[in-house]
Chains A and B, each alone.
Chain A
Amino acid sequence: MKILVCISKSPDTTSKVAFTDENTKFDENGVQYIVNPYDEWYALVRALEIKEAGGGQVTIVTVGAATDEAVIRKALAIGADEAVRIDADPKDAYYTAMQIANYAKANGFDLILTGKETINYNGSQVGGMIAEELDLPFVSLAEKLYVNGSSLTLEREIVGGVQVVEVNTPAVISCAKGMAEQRIPNMRGIMAARTKPLTVVAPVAIEELTSYVNYTMPNAKSAVKMINPENMDELVELLHNEAKVI
């Protein structure tokens, strides 16, 4: 099975979020980038498990600049066979998805996996967009994925529960918690990653459908009001009369 895993970078979850250039650019000063957790823990590791069980090839693809190669090497160290970097700034989800769809079209994959969402822009957009462009089924927020020949059995999250569905390959799947367990790269993997193929591909011309004009910070919380633990009547009274939520 030929599997393509879409990998994006995201700031380490403890990074300070600030903006520069009159709040139009994310301030990267001191920010550590990691592989977006959903892409790494769930999509990539499940792809490797499928390959280990049934053979095949796992390719990772990222749309990003040369500086993202550290993140790509980490994904290779976990076990992907090869990496492709599409050399462009992934400013808009549509732009990013069309780049990946274009690469996938030319190279033919049985399965395309994405993470549930990126934790910086939280759009949950790229997977569905790739699927539409390739005219493939899309199962979103899958928590389990099993392969039987050319048929996939998946568990996906639905409102208040889970559903088991079947779909044939080729298909696009977005991966959520439950798919697999995080793998820590070992020394051998890290050494091997240095020599695995990393191909740089030029982007195709695509218009951006959206743009971020600027950013704002949420209003600062007013100071917390402390309540005597003996006096829960007071808390109930405040929630009713002051906060008006009960």
Chain B
Amino acid sequence: MILVYVNSTNGLSKSALETVTYGKKLNDSVTVITNGGASTDLLSSLGEYGASSVIIDRSVDGEDAQQITRLIASTAQSIGANTVVFSHDLIGKAVAPRVSVRLKAGLISGAISLPNSDGTTKVNVFSGKAMGNVKVNSSIRIISLLPNSIQPEKSGTACTVEETSGNAGNAAIKVISTKKPEGEIPLPEAELVVSAGRGLKGPENWGMIEELANLLGAATACSRPVADIGWRPHHEHVGQTGVAIRPNLYIAVGISGAIQHLAGVNGSKVIVVVNTDSEAPFFKAADYGVVGDAFEVVPRLNEAIKKFKAAQH
């Protein structure tokens, strides 16, 4: 039995669909445990990605890791789960280690692959500069899957949704307020990311970067100094000390490609670098490089994309 934890408080994210798909690929029956207020119809659609049933506890709001842990552990025990799957996102990082202790089950943190035939599973180590093969020594294993490591796949039809409550206890964490900009694509989930660095000279020059992101339906990101001096919001900072991302496409404009920056983006499938300096280290990590001035290249790229999109229709 595979148990997959999904946080459905704000609907179903792409990473939720990835974890259910991952559970299905482990070739066993998949039960999803979730909390929050998602509609029964929405939850039953997880059957299309491989879930055979969904259990929801609406009394748990998904804000307290301790409470979610009790819910997951009691469900894992009642269904006899041998594997519990999480997304290695903000909630997964808080809950999976707790469940590991509660079930005395080894945690493969930040998995990037399905287990090999010998049961070892790949994870990124040293900020993506190498990969480790991890083995679990306990009878139950816990896997938290790095977002964007596999694609969601439809393989079935809608499944049953069951309500539960009373296994999670009280929350110790009290939420005072939540600030969330509307309509932005969360960076860790974005498939396309446009990022810029100090080469842009000032915050007033980000218009063309935002236009490029809008044209592509991409999220925006930045290098650390740019967030530190306040040109861009902190949550856009990618790299070793910021967010680690692995989108399909990462476009880096005016970023030198310091090793600490690369550590957060080197999992990207395709990297495009725009830089005036042909010696910038980022070109060594790039798939496509443009040596040129961002202030000329980016507007030109935006026009080219508009032309491309018009031709697609």
**Chain A interface (Cβ < 8 Å from any Cβ of B):** 11, 13-14, 17, 19, 37-38, 92-94, 97, 119-129, 131-133, 137-141, 143, 153, 157-168, 171, 177-178, 207-218, 221-222, 224-227, 229-230, 232-233, 235-240, 243, 245-246
Contact = CB atoms under 8 A, between A and B. Distances in A.
Interface of B is mostly: mixed
Interface of B: 10, 13, 63-66, 69, 88-90, 93-102, 104-110, 120, 122, 124-138, 172-181, 184, 186-189, 192, 216, 234-235, 237, 240-242, 244, 248-249, 259-260, 263, 266, 269-270, 272-273, 283-293, 296-297, 300-301, 303-305, 307-308
Contact of B102 (A132, A208, A232, A243): A132
B94 A19 contact: no
B299 to A, nearest CB: 9
Contact of A125 (B100, B104, B129, B189): B100
Contact of B192 (A230, A240, A245): A245
Nearest to B125: A121
Contacts of B259: 13-14
Q: Which 9 residue pairs of A and B lie closest in terms of their CB atoms, listed nearest first?
A: A229-B292, A128-B97, A161-B180, A209-B106, A137-B172, A132-B101, A132-B98, A232-B304, A140-B94
A157 B89 CA distance: 11
Nearest to B122: A216
B243 to A, nearest CB: 9
Contacts of B100: 94, 125, 129, 132, 209
Nearest to A138: B65
Contact of B216 (A140, A167, A171, A246): A246
Contact of A168 (B96, B133, B172): B172
A86 to B, nearest CB: 18
A225 B216 contact: no
A243 B186 contact: no
Contacts of B101: 94, 97, 128-129, 132-133
A232 B178 contact: no
B173 A165 contact: yes
Contact of A232 (B138, B270, B287, B300): B300
